[in-house]
Structure 1
Amino acid sequence: MASYKIEQAIDNDDLAKKASQVIAAHIDLALDQKERSQISLAGGSTPSLTYSFLGQERLPWDRVDVFLGDERWVEPNNECSNALMLQRSLLAQFPGSNARFHPVPTTSYSSPNESAESFSNLISKICVGEPPIFDLIVLGLGEDGHTASLFPSSDSLLIKDKYTTIAHGKGKDRITLTAPVLSAARKVIFLVSGASKQIALKRLLDPSESYLRTPAKLVSPISEIQIFADKSALLLV
């Protein structure tokens, strides 16, 4: 069973500043121990400001491999693309622009299944371990309790023998890391912002809650999960 530590922020700006500093510290620690660090970042609206601050951190970004935990199966320049969001935040400025970004291959393949398989192969080549081990995975939390693109009561929740899988949510086909990969990370951080996340966050912290209703419960690394949440998201906790 996962254990959680909550870091309270005043608002999304405060959350972004605090989270970016902690993320940078974990990357720095990993790079003290090995030549390259592999991290996986969440998409969505909440993390964008965090990544803008993170991109300003003075790290040897040329030694950091950046992945996404999930991606919509859209063109890379589509406004719904998580890769585009990263290009506009973390990768938009020096020194963060020096990071080696490995986007999820999407419409360069004929189907989401082919994209997922290609993404799995890419991760296997760069990350060690079975399942692959990321030094850090940053995740978001949806209003319905989903994380990455693992949605409530979906088939993707049951995938244990693959590193990636396909999913469908909010009208889009998606490629996502699976629960075993998310749980294998050395460190997991959740970013949770806004009053609309109150119920989902309460369920995530409830030991009796089912992963079928709140898929974020599937993320269960050995280390303590750190949750950065603003005051409005914490009102029910």
Structure 2
Amino acid sequence: MTSYRLETAASPEDLARIAAQTIASHLDLALDQRDRAQLALSGGTTPARAYALLGQEHLPWERVDVFLGDERWVDPADASSNARMLRETLMQSGPGARAAFHAVPTVSLPSPDASAEAFAAIVERICSGDPPIFDLMVLGLGDDGHTASLFPGTEAPAVRDRSATVGRGKGLERITLTAPVLSAARQVIFLVSGTAKREALQRLLDPSESPERTPAKLVQPRSTVLVLADSDAAGGVA
């Protein structure tokens, strides 16, 4: 059974600072053990400030491969693009700009299915293992219990025979890593912020919760999952 360790920050600003420091620490450890480190990051509003701070950390970023756990099937210049968010935060300036960013190919290909296939090939080329192993997987948590683009009531959470697939949620088609890849990471961190996420966080931490209702429960690494949450999200969690 998956085990979780919850750490609570007093505010969203504190959460961003703690998240940046924690991610940097894990990357530093991975780079001590291997020539390169593979990092997968979530999109969304919660982690953007953390990524801006992370990009200022003095690490050998030229040895870090950065991926997105999921991406909307939109132009990379679109305001809703996770790739654009990373370029404007982690890779905007400072040391983090030296990282190798392997963006999800989107509208340059004819369909979301073609994009998912191409992204899977990139991940499998750079990450060792079957399924591919990331050193660190940073995930968000939706108020409906989704993570990456594994939305409840859709086909994507059940896909186990490939590294990436098409996720559909909130009116958009998306490209997402699959549950086996999320679970293969050496370390998984969830970043959770805001009162709207409180119930979803309670469900994530509940051993009896169904993965069908809360697909984030499908993330089942061998190591303890670290959950970093602000006090608004963690309030009321037993």
> Which band: TM-score by shorter chain?
over 0.9
Tell me which residue corresponds to 1:232: 232
Tell me which residue corresponds to 2:19: 19
Q: Residues of 2 paired with 1:191 and 1:43: CA distance?
A: 11
Deviations 1:13-57 (Å, cap 9, x if unpaired)?
Answer: 100101111100110111111111001000000000010110010
Q: Residues of 2 paired with 1:93 and 1:100: CA distance?
A: 14
Tell me which residue corresponds to 1:191: 191
The residue correspondences of 1:196-211 to structure 2 (distance < 5 A) are 196-211=196-211
Tell me which residue corresponds to 1:70: 70
Question: Cα RMSD over matched residues?
Answer: 0.5
One-letter code aligned to 2:101: F
Tell me which residue corresponds to 1:133: 133
One-letter code aligned to 2:144: D
Q: Residues of 2 paired with 1:188 and 1:219: CA distance?
A: 8
Shift of 1:90: 0.2
Shift of 1:79: 0.4
Q: Residues of 2 paired with 1:6 and 1:216: CA distance?
A: 15
Shift of 1:236: 2.3
% same residue: 59
One-letter code aligned to 1:112: P
Tell me which residue corresponds to 2:103: 103
Q: Residues of 1 paired with 2:15 and 2:32: CA distance?
A: 26
Deviations 1:135-168 (Å, cap 9, x if unpaired)?
Answer: 0000000000000000012111111111000011
* TM-score, length basis structure 1: 0.99
Deviations 1:211-237 (Å, cap 9, x if unpaired)?
Answer: 111000000000000000011101120
Is 1:170 the counterpart of 2:164 in the alignment? Answer: no
Deviations 1:159-214 (Å, cap 9, x if unpaired)?
Answer: 11110000111111000000000000000000000000000000001111101110
Q: Residues of 2 paired with 1:213 and 1:232: CA distance?
A: 22
Runs of at least 5 residues in structure 2 that lack an aligned partner in the other structure: none
Tell me which residue corresponds to 2:116: 116
Aligned residues: 237
* TM-score, length basis structure 2: 0.99
Contact residue 199 and residue 236 of structure 1 kept, 8 A: no
Shift of 1:2: 1.0
Tell me which residue corresponds to 1:60: 60
Q: Residues of 2 paired with 1:205 and 1:128: CA distance?
A: 30
Q: Residues of 1 paired with 2:91 and 2:69: CA distance?
A: 17
3-state DSSP class of the match of 1:90? coil
One-letter code aligned to 2:58: R
Q: Residues of 1 paired with 2:226 and 2:211: CA distance?
A: 19
Q: Residues of 1 paired with 2:141 and 2:157: CA distance?
A: 15
